[in-house]
Amino acid sequence: MSNPQKKDTNLLLGVIPSKLCKPEQVARWCEGGVTPTYRLQRKPTDLAEFYQYNCRMTIWRDNGTLTYLSPCESNDRPNHERYLSMRFFCEGPIFHITGTTDKAISKTAAFFMTLERTAQEKPFIYMESYSLFYQLHAVGSRCFTNIFKTAPSRLVEFENISLTVKQTIALATRSHPIKLGFWECEFEDGGTAFVEALERRKSSFGSLRFTNNTGFSDDNLKRLLQLDVIDYLELPPLSEELVFLPFSTKVGHLEYEIKTPFLSQSKVESLNIVPKKLSLSMTDHSIDFFPTEPVLRLLRRIAEVGHFAELGFKFSFVAAKSDVPLCVVQEVLQASFSSCNLKVIDLSSGHDFIDWYPNMEFLFQGLKEHKSLRTLKVTDHMMGYFGPDFYHLRRLLSQNRYITVTNEYGEIHTDGMHIDKLYALNRFYRGSLDLALTPLQDRSSLVATALAKSALANFHRTALLLADHTDTLYDLLYCARIFFEA
């Protein structure tokens, strides 16, 4: 029997008549204007009860807060100077909470956080304050531990949030690896308690990301970079004193934005680089040219180290109008070939980054002989990025049957026809080679099945199979003779 509470909005919410609405209860949207305000008729049993209302909705609570629920596809926001936004999964609504005090707003945030009991697809929690830092002191540390109960692997991100010592300890002491991000956040103690909790960990923390600034004191940053419990670490530009420390940190994957003016020759030449996965964004927003020398200096050092499984490079020089120089592309190729176990090279770029387009053909031709490379990530910003009719990409896939070329999200670049056929042929090619490891007795029947099904009426696939498995021909011909004689 269906649950009527999830169909009748009046059971959960009751509208406040417009004539009875006090000024602080009136819901005002930036785009939607004034809309009805609702009041909870009972305590919800699950946050999912709100997901059925796929429309703008505003809820008044007696602590003086208004919560604006905006559908995931809407960009509408409260017409207020300050508010806290929360989101719990990709397709879910956004909760915008307004009020007169941070304490009241954080209590309402805690109220909604404690309601989540149903795991959703692609779960995360994103909390962002608009205007100044919000102090979520009324959100107890228990809320920060409960958010992982329904989805332990969820991503948790904070933006412009002020966090207490107890809250940061709760985040740092989960018994399982987590994914945690801070975007221009403020820490009550400069990050001391968070780092101390990580120093006591015996198991992996998971991934940790800082955007724009860390909010940590320099001493705490130094301590953080000495830890060996972080799998993935993303860092914004650091001061000149700390700029090279991240390279020696014991993390699995380091993603780091570094300012090129700090890449002095003496320090780069002796740079110790520990992570096996390294993604670098090299930036300088004060120049109108591509700083070739410091970039080449760092690329050459990366080539000398040569132990990488993944490499990523982005360049952002806002005033520079040039593309990535050919000599830089050559050094990127040298760095990739110097790492014989390299599996991924990420050259994808957003609109704020300098483009690789003029040298795409040179890049593809350079990578065609790479034995271990499996994934190349690039961003196509225009029609014809891969040459006329995807010519450069088609040639690369014909010459290197192990490589996949995707965008930054892992989606393959394709023309919807020829490229798809090439990928299918390459998968068949790899499968045929893998089949060679199967004992002959079993392999003969598998080859026969492939010839009769996936390779049927396909010259390329048939030729590949017979070339790779000539030793099975005798068995196949023998079986065919018996069949026809019978």
Tokens, residue 107: 């209590």
Average pLDDT for the chain: 88
For residue 267, what pLDDT is reported? 87
For residue 320, what pLDDT is reported? 64
Q: Which residues pair with 97 in a beta bridge?
A: 67, 84
pLDDT of 2 > 50? The answer is no
Among 148, 193, 146, 152, which residue's Cα sits nearest to residue 169?
193
Q: Where are the domains of the chain?
A: 11-139, 439-485
Unique residue bearing structure tokens 């954080």: 106
Amino acid letter, 17? P
Task: Quote the DSSP letter at residue 248.
Answer: G
**pTM, two decimal places:** 0.88
Tokens, residue 181: 């991000």
Tens digits of per-residue pLDDT, 40-96?
Answer: 999 998 888 888 888 899 999 999 999 999 988 888 999 998 899 999 887 788 999
pLDDT of 481 > 80? The answer is no
Count CB atoms within 10 A of the CB of residue 394: 18
Q: Which residues pair with 89 in a beta bridge?
A: 123
Q: Given CA atoms 459, 462, 467, 470 in this order, what sign does their dihedral have?
A: negative
* Weakest-pLDDT range from 94-103, 146-155, 231-240: 146-155
For residue 287, what pLDDT is reported? 84
* Weakest-pLDDT range from 18-27, 48-57, 250-259, 367-376: 48-57
CA distances from 95 to 31, 57, 72 (A): 16, 10, 10
